[in-house]
Amino acid sequence: MNRVVRFYEYGDASVLRIEDVEVPAPAADEVQIAVKAIGLNRAEVMFRTGRYLQEANFPSQLGYEAAGIVKSLGADVTEFAEGDAVSVIPTLDMSRWPTYGEVINIPVKYVVKHPARLSFEQAAASWMQYVTAWGALIAQGKLGLGDFVIVSAASSSVGIAAIQIARSVGATVIATTRTSAKAKPLYDAGAHHVIATTEENVAARVKEITSGKGARVVFDPIGGPAIAQLAECMSFGSILLEYGALSTDDGTFPQFALLGKCLTFKGYLYIEVTSNDELLAAAKTFINEGLQSGALSPLISRTFQFDQIQDATRFLESNEQVGKIVVTVN
């Protein structure tokens, strides 16, 4: 028997329960991992509260990221050996392959040997944020040397990852956050410029920073009224990649900016990478090289113990963090 986190109904963090369950042997194409650390993501909050793309079948488990030691291997797995230190790339179904547990089974496709220089906490904090940011900025946005990129809600783990990836390819990063309270941490994380959206004129600041050109790539998880505001900040022929829906207000669609600047607005999900073998292989290579060199360095806001899973989730929902929240497993 091993401890896992389950919930029996949608609700706040109090619905999460730690229970003893029997974890089956891994399937032929799976790796069984003794978990050392778990990375928390906002997608799991949305799943737990019934606001995600996928519905839960109760009682449901959850979780996209973890790192640990290979415990056993499915019959068809040859890439790993028992005792290997590995981390988990988010799968396509967190209820089928959950990571909130002491022992988990994950398809071999989504298991990776991370650089030895990383702690288990860092490894568990890596793959969702870097895969998400890489897929948008590099695979789709073709971000490169000399480009200006706007990273909205930049204090999130994905925002920090986007800052690091953009810098690694020579782009200039304009990070946005609601207030100036998080400006210093964002500069420390690598942003070239930080704009507090409730304190400054965003379009005017971007115009000043880019010498009137605007940003060629925008990476935004907010949506709603922010879309029209960001459209003012974009250069001719640029692209906005929308990867979230934090706003509950639809806002006004910026049709004149869209037409006048020949803009591209695209909805984006990390599964566009993880469901494509060629893209996933390219992402693994880019991210592992960055983690090895130190160009990519997971920023951990705070760690909690496994027994504190409710508190860890509440802290995630508070939006007080800059970077990733990690839960450690003894």
Return the CATH number at 18.
3.90.180.10
Whether residues 210 and 110 share a domain: the answer is no
Is 114 contained in some domain? yes
Is 208 contained in some domain? yes
Q: Model's pTM, two decimal places?
A: 0.91
> What tens digit of pLDDT does each residue of 141-196 get?
999 999 999 999 999 889 999 999 999 999 999 999 999 999 999 999 999 999 99
> What tens digit of pLDDT does each residue of 289-307 get?
999 999 999 999 999 999 9
Is 280 contained in some domain? no
Average pLDDT, stretch 99-115? 97
> Range of 38's domain?
2-126+298-328
What is the pairing mode between strands 324-328 and 30-39? antiparallel
Is 288 contained in some domain? no
Q: DSSP of 87-109, one letter per residue? A: EE---S-TTTS--SBSEEEEEGG
**pLDDT for the residue numbered 52:** 86
**pLDDT for the residue numbered 251:** 81
Quickly state the pLDDT bin for 5 (edges 50, 70, 90). Answer: very high
Whether residues 23 and 78 share a domain: the answer is yes
Whether residues 137 and 263 share a domain: the answer is yes
Whether residues 82 and 113 share a domain: the answer is yes
Whether residues 152 and 221 share a domain: the answer is yes
Is 62 contained in some domain? yes
Whether residues 86 and 7 share a domain: the answer is yes
> What tens digit of pLDDT does each residue of 157-170 get?
899 999 999 999 99
**pLDDT for 17 beyond 80:** yes
In the chain, the number of structural domains is 2
Around 147, how many Cα atoms within 13 Å sit in the side-chain half-sphere? 26
Whether residues 237 and 215 share a domain: the answer is yes
**pLDDT for the residue numbered 252:** 86
Q: Roughly what angle, to the nearest 10 degrees, separates helices 157-168 and 277-293? A: 80
| 94 vs 53: which has the higher pLDDT | 94
